[in-house]
């Protein structure tokens, strides 16, 4: 299509942002785009081909796995294994990380952490859901099996991060540290096309997103913040799908809150493949992300599925929350 930039074209054009790029990261990002198109197709057909619903098992989080959770996990793992750019994958759906054993993958320079389908409790009610991914350069020697240390890296070490939103239209949004760009899937040509170049979020906003059912379980500072949002007549918007809430706030301005609560003392969201990658996006778009005390990107994980409190979005709103929590 004349005048349209596809994701593949954009990635190749921007490869020069990395003077020493050999094209591996470009190929990896294109593999992610390819896998996203397959998952998008399955998400759109879920209700028709009995892909909705639970499979009767639980993931390490003790959360009931949905059929699409497992399918999305398998699609991304297969696409990335075939691509050969990553030597290993950590996923919300798998207790331990996967170290690929084939020779081609062992030569991979990167590892990927992902939530293959976040917000899965919304699958059966046709609410937007998403994929979140984070890419690190491996620390272990090329040619060997991936190690846990390859994954336990702080967000500042990410070389790329992004999300796919399977919604009224499907979008892929990513950063490699040179700004944030959004691509909308054009089903008529099966390509993600540049629709949101150089995304920026406002320093403040009117929207706050939190499950206020947790109000009385939350720290006093968060209760005070929520009370102030009501006094200032801010707008409450909470979909219960992190990617959808994050994406709306990125575009319109706002803050998403998931505090540590008496029920979830370490918060609910996972640092490695939810909070860190979206923090990278937020910061690259002029926003910020923290656990209330520390910049999310600087938290070094000690375990794969580590949880953290999470405040992300317009930087002045995140700052207001931090003041109240100190
Ligand atoms: P709650 C979905 O399970 C998720 O990880 C995020 O996508 C979402 O924002 C949050 O949990 C919803 O949690 O406790 O409000 O249902």
Among residues 275, 245, 254, the alpha carbon closest in space to that of 317 is found at: 254
Q: Give the confidence band of 317 by pLDDT, cuts at 50, 70, 90.
A: very high
* Helix, strand or coil, per DSSP, at residue 29: helix
CA distances from 139 to 116, 143, 147, 272 (A): 23, 12, 8, 16
Q: Is 240 in the pocket of ligand 1 (CB under 6 A)?
A: yes
User: Relative to the CA of 245, which ligand 1 atom is closest?
Assistant: 9
What does the DSSP assignment read for 76-112? HHHHHHHH-SEEEEEETTSSS-EE--SHHHHT--EEE
Whether 257 contacts 245, CB under 8 Å: no
Q: Are strands 129-137 and 110-118 parallel, antiparallel or unpaired?
A: antiparallel
Domains in the chain (CATH in brackets) are 7-196 (3.30.540.10), 207-325 (3.40.190.80)
Q: Return left, alpha or beta for 81; rule: phi > 0 is left, psi -120 to 50 is alpha, else beta.
A: alpha
Distance of CA 277 from the midpoint of ligand 1 (Å): 16
Asked if pLDDT for residue 2 goes beyond 70, the answer is no
> Is residue 88 predicted with pLDDT exceeding 80?
yes
Average pLDDT, the chain: 93
d(CA 53, CA 31): 27
Q: How far is the CA of 285 from the centre of ligand 1 (A)?
A: 23
Instruction: Name the packing angle between helices 67-83 and 24-45 (round to 10°).
Output: 150
pLDDT (tens digit, 9 = 90+) per residue, 154-202?
999 999 999 999 988 999 999 999 999 999 999 999 999 999 999 999 9
From the CB of 204, is ligand 1 less than 6 Å away? no
- The residue whose C-alpha atom lies closest to atom 2 belonging to ligand 1 is 119
- Residue closest by Cα to atom 6 of ligand 1: 242
Helix axes 276-284, 242-252, angle to 10 degrees: 10
128 in Cβ contact with 168 (< 8 Å): yes
pLDDT computed for residue 126 by the predictor: 87
Band of pLDDT at residue 14, cut at 50, 70 and 90? confident
Write the residue with the smallest CA distance to atom 13 of ligand 1: 240
Stated length of the chain: 326
Strands (E), the chain: 54-58, 64-66, 86-91, 98-99, 110-118, 129-137, 158-166, 170-175, 180-186, 191-196, 207-209, 235-236, 254-258, 288-290, 310-313
Work out the end-to-end distance of the chain between its first and last CA atoms, rounded to an integer number of angstroms. Answer: 53
Confidence of residue 116 (pLDDT cuts 50, 70, 90): very high
Show the tokens assigned to 151: 């994954």
> Please, what sign has the CA dihedral across residues 293, 94, 264, 220?
positive
CB of 121 closer than 6 A to ligand 1? yes
Closest residue by CA, ligand 1 atom 12: 240
- Percent of residues in the chain assigned helix, strand, coil, to nearest 5: 40, 25, 35
* CA–centroid distance, residue 241 to ligand 1 (Å): 6
Helix, strand, or coil here: 140? coil
Express each pLDDT in 212-270 by its tens digit: 999 999 999 999 999 999 999 999 999 999 999 999 999 999 999 999 999 999 999 99
Say if strands 254-258 and 207-209 run parallel, antiparallel, or are unpaired.
Answer: parallel
Higher pLDDT, 242 or 62: 242
pLDDT at 1 over 60: no
């Amino acid at each position: 299509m004349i005048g349209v930039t596809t994701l593949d074209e954009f990635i190749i054009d921007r490869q020069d942002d990395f003077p020493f790029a050999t094209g591996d990261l470009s190929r990896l990002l294109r593999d992610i785009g390819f896998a996203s198109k397959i998952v998008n197709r399955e998400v759109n057909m879920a209700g028709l081909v009995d892909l909705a619903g639970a499979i009767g098992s639980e993931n390490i989080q003790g959360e009931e796995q949905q059929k699409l959770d497992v399918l999305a996990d398998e699609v991304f793992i297969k696409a990335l294994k075939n691509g050969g750019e990553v030597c290993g994958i950590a996923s919300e759906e798998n207790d331990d990380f996967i170290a690929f054993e084939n020779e081609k993958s062992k030569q991979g320079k990167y590892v990927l952490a992902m939530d293959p389908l976040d917000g899965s409790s919304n699958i059966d009610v046709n609410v937007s859901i998403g994929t979140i991914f984070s890419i690190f350069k491996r620390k272990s020697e090329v040619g060997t099996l991936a190690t846990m240390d390859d994954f336990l890296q702080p967000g500042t070490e990410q070389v790329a991060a992004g999300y796919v939103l399977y919604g009224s239209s499907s979008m892929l949004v990513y950063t490699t540290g040179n700004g944030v760009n959004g691509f909308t899937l054009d089903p008529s040509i099966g390509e993600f096309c540049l629709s949101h170049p150089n995304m920026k979020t406002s320093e403040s906003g009117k929207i706050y997103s939190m499950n206020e059912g947790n109000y009385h379980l939350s720290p006093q500072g968060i209760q005070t913040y929520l009370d102030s949002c009501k006094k200032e007549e801010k707008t409450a918007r909470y979909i219960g799908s992190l990617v959808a809430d994050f994406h709306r706030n990125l575009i319109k301005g706002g803050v998403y809150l998931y505090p540590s609560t008496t029920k979830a003392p370490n918060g609910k969201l996972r640092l490695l493949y939810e909070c860190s990658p979206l923090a990278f996006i937020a910061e690259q778009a002029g926003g910020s992300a923290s656990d209330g005390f520390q910049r999310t990107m600087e938290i070094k994980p000690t375990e794969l599925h580590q949880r953290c409190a999470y405040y992300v979005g317009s930087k002045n709103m995140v700052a207001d929350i931090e003041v109240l929590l100190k």
